[in-house]
Structure 1
C-alpha cells in the first residue's frame, strides 16, 4: 500500500476526481456526437427520400405529357405538339438523372428508358406521314415507358425502405455501443471507488481509530497508518504523540510515587513522635496537652489516608487507560457484585434487587465490576436501616444502560455538579453513613468514560439514582 500510493491524499483525490470527470465528459461528448451524427443521417435520408419521390413523380408526369403530345401530333398534325413532346422529354431526362443520382441505383432500367424514349423521339422527328405509318410502334414504345416508370418508382420505394432499414440498424448499433460505453464507465467508477476505499478510506478510518485510541489513553499499541504520504506522516506524528503521552504518564506516576514516598517518611516519624507523646514517654501529659496530641494523631492518620487514596486513585486512573475488552454479561456482573458485598448489605438489613435481561457487551469485566461495586457500596452506606437498593440493566438504541438506585437522603442540587470530582465529599451526610474519601464516584467516571460511556445522576432525592450508558460495541 505504501508503494502504491506514495503521493499525498490531495493529489490522489484530485486525480480520481479529474479521472471520473474525464470519463463522464468523454461519454457525454461521444453520446452528443452520436446523436448529432444520427440526426444528420436522418435529415439527409428524409431530404433524399423527398427528392426521389418528387423526381419519380415528375418523371411519370413528363412521360404522360410526352404520350399525350405524341397522340395530339398524330391526330392534328400540329408541330407545336411535337415541340411540346421534345420539351417534356428533356425534362423527363433531367428527372431520370436526378433519380439515378440520388438513389445510387445503377440498374439497366435507366438505360432502357433512355433508349426507348430516344426511339419514340426518332419516330416523331420524322414527317407526319412517316410517323403515322409507325403509329402503333410509337404507342407501344410510349406504353413501355410507362412500365419502365412503374419499375423505377418501385425501385425508388425499395431503395428508400432499404435506407430506412440501414438507418435503424445504425441506430441500434450506436445505442448498443453507447450502452457498452456506459457499462465500461460504470465498471471503471466501481474500480475507482474500491481503490478509494482500499487506499484512502481505510487509512482515514485508521486515523480516527488512532485518535480514539489516544483519547482512551490506550498507549501501549503503536500507531501505524498506511496509505498516501501525508496520511503516513500523520501516523508518524500520532505515534510520536502516543510516545510523549506514555512518557508523560510514566513520569507523572514516578513523580507521584516519589512524592508519596517522601511524604510517608516524615509522616511516619511524625506519627511515631505523636504516639510517644501520647503514651507519656517523656512524662505525663496534662488533659489539655493530651487533647492536642489527640488532634495531631487524628490529622496524621487523615493525612496518611489521603496520600493512600491519592495513590489508589492514580493507580486506578492509569489502569482505566489499559482496558482488556472481552464479551461481558452485564447481568452476571451485577449478580456477582451483589454477592461479593452480601455481608455489608445484610449487616444493614437492606434489600438488594436486580432486574433486567442478560446483556452482553464488549468491555473490561474487572473494571466494570469495580464500577458497579463502587455504586453499590455508596448506595449501602447512604441507605437507611432496612432500606432497599435497586440495580437494573437494559438495552436500548444501541446502548446498554445500568442503573443503581437507593432510598437514602439523596444528593442536594447544589452538590450534584461536583459529586464526580476527585476527593469531593458533600456536606450533610447522615450519621448512618461511614465517612468516605471522595474518590469512589470519580473512579466510576474514569472507568465509564474509558469504555466510551457516560455516568450521570438522574434523580437527586428522595434517594439517589445513578445511570451508566455504555455503547454495545466499544472501539
Structure 2
C-alpha cells in the first residue's frame, strides 16, 4: 500500500523538513566541533597560563634561595635563613601549582630533581663552616637553577606546541565543515527538486485537465495522482468531464430530434405553398400570390436554418473513422465553383483562381460544407462587378485555401465573433437573404475536427480574406499546378476571368 499525504500542504511541509534535515545535521555537527574546540582551547590556555606562572615563580624562588644561601655562607646571618625558608615555601606552592597543571613526565622528573637539589642545599646550609659543604652547596644551587631554567624553557616550548596543535585543529574543523557542506548541500537540493516535482506535477496535471475541458476535450480521461486533496480534485474533474459528455450528448440528441421534428411540418408548408404557386396560382389574386411567395421563401429560409442547425449539431460530434478518406480538395473546390456559376453571372462577379492539386484526408460532405460557406459568403457580400479570388496551394506541408472578396469586409471588433454560433455581423448584405449565423461556426468546427485552422486575415484593400489551413494526406502529397477549363470558367495564376 502506497502512503500518500492527505493534503498538498502536508507534502510541502514534509518536503521542506526533509530538505533542511541534512543542513540542520551539518549545523549541529559544526556547532559541536566548534564547542569542543573552544573547550579544548580554553583548557589548554588555562593550563599553559598556570604552568607558565608556576614555572616563573619557581624560577624566581630558586634564584632567591640561591642568593640567600650564598650570602649566608659568607655572613652567617640567621635572618638570611628565614628569607631562604620563605623563598623555599614560595617554591613549594609554585611547584604544587605546576604539578596540578598536568606537566609532562619529563617535566615531572625535572621537578623531582629540582626538589632534591633544593632539599639537599637546605640541609647543607647549617654546615657551611666546612669547606667541602660549601662546594657541595654551590653545586646544588647551580644544578637547581639550571633545572628551574630548563623547566621554564620546556613550559614555553610546550605552550608553542599547544598553540600549533590548536591551529591545526582549527584548520581541520574548517576543512570538515567545508566537506560536510559540499556533501550535504547537493543532497538537500536534490531532495528539494524531487519534492518540487512531486508537488508541481499533480498541480500541472490539474491545469492541463482544466485547460483540456476549457478547450472542449471531453474524450481524454482525467487521472491525477498525488496528495489526496489533489487526487480528489482530479476525481471531481473526471466527474465533471463525464457530466459534460452526458450534457453534450443530450444537447446533440435534442438538436437532432428538434430538427427532424420541425422538418416534417415545414415540408408540408413548403409543398403546400409550391402547389398554390404552380397549380392554383392562376386563381389567386396578386396580393394572394405575393403572400404565397412570402410563405414559400420564408419556409425555404426556415428549412435552411434547420438544416444548418442540424449540421452544426453534427459538427460538434465526433467524425466516424470510416467516413474519413483521402480525396482531392482541388476537385471539391472546382465542383463548388461550377455550382456558383449562375450566381456569379447574375451578379456580374469576376473570378480569379489559382488551384494546385492538393490531396487531404477528410469527409467529403464536411469539406464541401467548409468550402461552400467560404464561397457563399464571398458571393453574398460582393458588390456587382467585384472580383473574388480563390487560391489553393501547399504551404509548410499544409493545404491552404484563400478566399478573398471586395465586399464591406469585417469590423475589427467582429474578427472572432463571426465564428460564434448564431452571430450575424453588422455589415450590409446588399439586399440578399440574411444568413443563419451558423455557417462560419459550422465551418470552424469541421476544420478543428481535422486539426486545421480557419482564420480571418488582414487585408489592406476592401473586403474579407478567409484562410483555411488543413493537414495534407501525406508528406509526398502532390501539389503540381492544376489548370482546366470548366464551362467558361478558366483557372489560371494570372488575369481574372469574368463570369
Same fold (TM over 0.5): yes
Verify: 1:255 aligned to 2:254, yes or no. yes
Report the equivalent of 2:220: 221
Write out per-residue CA displacement over residues 258-283 of structure 1, whole angstroms, 9 at most, x where no aligned residue. Answer: 00000011111111111111112586
Equivalent residues of 1:410, 1:461 under 8 A apart? no
Report the equivalent of 1:313: 312
Report the equivalent of 2:268: 269
**What is the deviation of 1:339?**
9.5
Distance 1:432 1:153, change over 3 A: farther
Report the equivalent of 2:120: 119
Report the equivalent of 1:357: none
**What is the deviation of 1:372?**
9.6
Report the equivalent of 1:9: 8
- 2:222 is paired with a residue whose SS is coil
How do 1:197-236 residues align onto structure 2 when only pairs under 5 Å count?
Answer: 197=196, 199-236=198-235
Distance 1:379 1:27, change over 3 A: farther
Equivalent residues of 2:270, 2:296 under 8 A apart? yes
How do 1:326-365 residues align onto structure 2 when only pairs under 5 Å count?
Answer: 341=333, 348-350=350-352
Report the equivalent of 1:110: 111
CA–CA separation in structure 1 for the residues paired with 2:392 and 2:271 = 45
Equivalent residues of 1:120, 1:142 under 8 A apart? yes
CA–CA separation in structure 1 for the residues paired with 2:452 and 2:45 = 74
TM-score (norm 2): 0.71
**What is the deviation of 1:252?**
0.6
**What is the deviation of 1:243?**
0.9
- 1:268 is paired with a residue whose SS is helix
Report the equivalent of 1:137: 136
How do 1:92-111 residues align onto structure 2 when only pairs under 5 Å count?
Answer: 92-107=91-106, 108-111=109-112
**What is the deviation of 1:34?**
3.1
Equivalent residues of 1:393, 1:403 under 8 A apart? no
CA–CA separation in structure 1 for the residues paired with 2:354 and 2:432 = 17
CA–CA separation in structure 2 for the residues paired with 1:34 and 1:391 = 80
How do 1:407-446 residues align onto structure 2 when only pairs under 5 Å count?
Answer: 408-412=407-411, 418-429=417-428, 431=430, 436-443=435-442
CA–CA separation in structure 1 for the residues paired with 2:245 and 2:112 = 103
Distance 1:136 1:440, change over 3 A: farther
Report the equivalent of 2:50: 51
Distance 1:459 1:95, change over 3 A: farther
Instruction: Please report the RMSD computed on the Cα atoms of aligned residues, expressed in angstroms.
Output: 4.5
- 2:424 is paired with a residue whose SS is coil
TM-score (norm 1): 0.74
Verify: 1:280 aligned to 2:279, yes or no. yes
Report the equivalent of 2:496: none
CA–CA separation in structure 1 for the residues paired with 2:6 and 2:412 = 57
CA–CA separation in structure 2 for the residues paired with 1:453 and 1:96 = 103
CA–CA separation in structure 2 for the residues paired with 1:157 and 1:208 = 75
CA–CA separation in structure 2 for the residues paired with 1:242 and 1:286 = 59
Equivalent residues of 1:457, 1:466 under 8 A apart? yes
Deviates more, 1:456-465 or 1:108-117: 456-465
Aligned length: 437
Write out per-residue CA displacement over residues 279-311 of structure 1, whole angstroms, 9 at most, x where no aligned residue. Answer: 125863333322222111111111111111112
